Structure 1
């Protein structure tokens, strides 16, 4: 992705020099969807208690590699601001309000729960912020085989897409449905939510088509495949269990991203009305 000359976003909250060490204290009640990229291979952590905060810790060093990752993230975020501002105006006659992206190292806190490298990137609708430990980019490449800068850009775009869903009122509606559903039903509606975010990330990708290098879209599609629920469960040595899926299969995630990229229209990302996912 050609980001030279692209401004960095002003909507970055940098917590990387604050250690998240210490214990987690839990307060508040209620369950909230953690809208993550799809990183979990062990236990189901989609529902998480509200109000977890991290305590303690001392400042930490930030490496040159991490600084490069942070700069990359800031520029990608800036492209999402430009693209979604235009799309909201042109396709929906609305004003787009961009999210803040929190960069952290190791652990931090959010109104949706404690954030750590183990949870992966996620979006919290309570404070309308996305959370990202830039070490995840290395994990994406080394552990999941999703290499290339546009694979990392897709991660950022996916979390921003959850903010787009929040702006459009989709998240609130989904949470109401989940609250009165069985776990299997809640998982199924969450799959539709996540696939829509993949499609919206594809819409963004079309919007930055002039910045793409050959092979960039293939990198994003590969990333979507590598973090499908079936692929993640197999990598954890488990037989895929569709009733536990919360993000969609590798085939579904890559196909919905490609649909968004090919069509470039928010209206074409209606996973909730789709008969075939």
Structure 2
């Protein structure tokens, strides 16, 4: 992915190395352990971020790569700024076509732990979007975890992760997030293979594909194999694959993101069409 030298967003806050607690979830829970905690949170109706934060132990915290001391460019900061800036362009244009104005989100880089309007979290939670403060939170050590633990990685795969979180911001602006939250408050069961949470996450995958479609059409910045690496990353973080790695079994009743096949297919739908209207997972009879 040929991203260097492009315009960066002014909405990135670099708070790496500031105010971290040095805590790691569950004394070092792996990806599978995190999945189990999130599943329990969904089943009990508790806030997943709060549960993960409460489980913070004394294990060594994952750390982002140190900032260059010699004044050379900071790769992570520049990369995140370029990708976020491109999502701003794409969604700004798409919203304008619908007669609306896109409100740009913030993106905060942090190390080890962070406090957001949605609660405290550690890097083990992975990248997340908080609708209460319209901010994406990212410890870039997650990109290392993608390569080491999940078998994904590469610039475009990392861009997909950022675009997925930005897609949750789009859902907040369009009212999707509020509708899912309202259903939860009304006592509706939102988790499970056909639940609203899975539909919300698959729509975010599709929206990430929409961004990639328009970004590539304008920039021509993808290298051979980029889309395959992004799809491999989407596949690696499917509920079925993570649960199988964690427990050896798959429990669709606790799904919150969709299967590997579903995540790949909905990203591909967005990428192939570039049309957000094709991402209506809530109306789809079969996911």
In which range does the TM-score fall when normalised by the shorter chain? 0.7 to 0.9
Give the Å deviation of 1:113: 1.5
Give the Å deviation of 1:263: 0.8
Matched, 1:99 2:105: yes
TM-score by length of structure 2 reads: 0.83
Greater CA deviation, 250-259 or 13-22? Answer: 13-22
Give the 3-state SS of the residue equivalent to 1:21 in structure 2: coil
Deviations 1:113-170 (A, max 9, x none): 2121110000000000010000000001111000211111100000000001111111
Paired residues of 2:168 and 2:204 also in contact (CA < 8 A) = yes
Give the Å deviation of 1:22: 7.0
240 and 205 in structure 1: CA distance in 2 versus 1, 3 angstrom threshold: same
Given the alignment, which residue of 38, 42, 59 partners 2:36? 42
| Whole-angstrom distance in 1 between the partners of 2:133 and 2:236 | 29
Give the 3-state SS of the residue equivalent to 2:47 in structure 1: strand
Greater share of residues in helix: 2
Matched, 1:236 2:242: no
Deviations 1:5-61 (A, max 9, x none): 2111100111102132178xxxxxxxxxxxxxx99333124541788899xxxxx99
Give the Å deviation of 1:182: 4.7
| Whole-angstrom distance in 1 between the partners of 2:33 and 2:129 | 13
| Whole-angstrom distance in 2 between the partners of 1:146 and 1:206 | 20
| Whole-angstrom distance in 2 between the partners of 1:49 and 1:41 | 10
| Whole-angstrom distance in 2 between the partners of 1:145 and 1:258 | 19
| Whole-angstrom distance in 1 between the partners of 2:256 and 2:49 | 19
Paired residues of 2:92 and 2:102 also in contact (CA < 8 A) = yes
Where structure 1 has 5 or more consecutive residues not aligned to the other structure, the ranges are 24-37, 55-59
Give the Å deviation of 1:261: 0.4
Greater CA deviation, 61-70 or 14-23? Answer: 61-70
Map of 1:221 onto structure 2: 231
Paired residues of 1:39 and 1:119 also in contact (CA < 8 A) = no
Give the Å deviation of 1:111: 1.3
Given the alignment, which residue of 180, 185, 190 partners 2:186? 180
Map of 2:61 onto structure 1: none
| Whole-angstrom distance in 1 between the partners of 2:114 and 2:73 | 17
Give the Å deviation of 1:99: 0.3
RMSD after superposition: 2.7
Give the 3-state SS of the residue equivalent to 2:120 in structure 1: strand
Matched, 1:116 2:126: no
Give the Å deviation of 1:186: 3.8
| Whole-angstrom distance in 2 between the partners of 1:124 and 1:4 | 28
Matched, 1:249 2:256: no
Where structure 2 has 5 or more consecutive residues not aligned to the other structure, the ranges are 24-31, 57-63
Map of 2:197 onto structure 1: 190
